[in-house]
Every structure is written in C-alpha cells, then in structure tokens.
Amino acid sequence: MGREFVAAAIAEMHGASRLREPMSPQRLITARDEFEQLGEFFGVRGAATLAAVDADGVQCEWLSLPDSNLDHVLFYVHGGAYTMGSIASSRGMLAALVGAAKVRGLGIEYRLAPEHPFPAGRDDVVTAYAWVLAQGIRPEQIVVAGDSAGGGLAVSAMLEAKRRDLPMPAAIVTTSAWADLRCEAGSYVERDHLDPALNLADLQFSAACYLGDTARADDPDVSPVLADLSGLPPMLVMVGTAEILFDDSLALHSRAVASGVDAQVLVSNGMIHCWTGFADEWDQARADLAFFGAFVTSHLP
C-alpha cells in the first residue's frame, strides 16, 4: 500500500474526516464505530500475546511480542480526540511501538468524553500508572508514550502523577500530540489541506466534549503547552509536517525546553497524523519508528 491508499483509507473511515458530516453528538456514535474499524484495519500483524488486567478499576491490557523484554514497559495512552478509541482500536499502533523498542506494552482503557469529561480520562491514566508501579516495576523501567490526544494526555497525566509524588518514568514520547485544546495555532488552518484525518471544526467539538461544563481550554492541566513541565523526564516529541497539529508539537517541545526538560523533536517531512502506525507502507515511517525504538531503549536500563 502506498501513501495515497493509506490517506484515502483514513479520509474514508476516520470519524473526523472532512468527507463526512460535521461532528455532532449523533455523529459521534457512528464515528466511534468507524474509529474501531480503522484500528482493526491497521491491527496487530504477527504473533502477539495479550493479557487483560484490572488496574485498580481501570481496564488495561498487556501486549508483548516474542522478542519483548518483559522487564521493560511501554505505558501507552491511545489517541481518539478524547472522545473515541480503545485498547482494541490501538493494538496495531501499540504493537508497532513495542516491536520497535522490544519491550512489552500496556494499553489503557481510560474513560472518554463527553460521558466522562476532564479530569476523568487523566485520572484513569494516573491510576493505571500508579498500579504499574505497585506491581514492583521500577519507574526507570517505564517509558510513557501517547499519540494524538493520547500524547497530550500522557504529558498531563505525568504532571498530575508528579503532583501526587509518584516517581517519574524514564522518558515520555509523544506522536502527533494534541496538546493545546484552545485550537488556535496557525497550523490548524495553514496545514488543513495537507491533513487527511483531522479538521479544526471536529477538534473544537471534541475539545468542548472533553472540557465539559467546568474545565477551560487555557487550563495548563488540559493543555500542557501552557504548563510548567519542569521535573518531567527526557522527552521525544514526534510530528509530521502534513498534519494540522504540527504547531502543537513544536509548542510542546519549546515549553519542555523552557522548563528545563531534556527534550528533542523529530519533524518528519510529508508525514500525516500518527504516521508511525503505517511502517509497513512507508519507508519514512519505518525509519521514524526505528528512531522511536532507539530513543526508548537508550533511556531504559
């Protein structure tokens, strides 16, 4: 499959696609089903061992491959604009990351908006992280990763974990992070014609769902590009140039550096939203996935 095929598949199936009717509470119901179908389409390829666990009330799933080092954990927060996505829909992405880093992964079934607005999803991620630590897994054996909304949520959750005096993981990696729910950055409009997956109106709808009646988009706990990120572990921020969330990742990286975090950014030319999930199709995705794997292993004991 080439880039055109993958882009067409995303545009056809993704709930936020501009080819569909605008997002609404009614549309969200079918968009969730389509998102699950998309996850199945790009699902796990090859042998994987799955094990469901209850992390103090948060449903999670271990995923390992034959060459996974079971002592090392990739704690993974899936994307889906805070309103969709699941362990099942994100298995393919998690398997690709696990394979690149040769670790085992833990997928998190956090609660979704609008049924469960902020801080429900963030608190679920923190609960799951605390549960992992309670299993005797040392923080230096854990790398936290997230894509799209999961990228912003991963950072927000680690800030909350730090406030609760939980030890920080070895590193954090975000891919195509949605990290500013104000949705005001220039790339939301300037790169709209390049992005087959996302559009501003649908992200504004999802942001309103996540914020609910009480939270604000300019709250640093919601939009980590506005937060003091000091005390976070080393970060890798990955983003493609063909996505409307481009500026979010650049702002997140800049904020991390300004906060004294050891942070680096990987900008992948021509790549679309969450492109590392398409490593079987694109050479660039394979190269960037390998870069991800090298970063993770370099920060683990």
Per residue of the chain (301 residues), give pLDDT as tens. 444 555 555 555 444 445 457 889 989 999 899 889 877 766 677 789 999 999 999 999 999 999 999 999 999 999 999 999 999 999 999 999 999 999 999 999 999 999 999 999 999 999 999 999 999 999 999 999 999 999 999 999 999 999 999 999 999 999 999 999 999 999 999 999 999 889 999 999 999 999 999 999 999 999 999 999 999 999 999 999 999 999 999 999 999 999 999 999 999 999 999 999 888 889 999 999 999 999 999 999 9
The CATH number given to whatever domain includes residue 56 is 3.40.50.1820
Alpha carbon distances (Å) from 278 to 2, 63, 222: 10, 19, 29
Range of the domain at 278: 3-298
The total of structural domains in the chain comes to 1
CA angle, corner 124, sides to 59 and 238, nearest 5?
100
Q: How far is the C-alpha of 197 from the C-alpha of 191, rounded, in Å? A: 12
User: Which structure tokens are listed for 272?
Assistant: 């679309």
DSSP letter string, 227-242:
S--TT---EEEEEETT
What is the full DSSP assignment across 145-190? EEETHHHHHHHHHHHHHHHTTPPP-SEEEEES----TT--STHHHH
Query: Hey, which residues are catalytic here?
Result: 148, 243, 273
Model confidence, pTM: 0.93
- How many residues are listed for the chain in this entry? 301
What is the model's pLDDT at position 6? 55
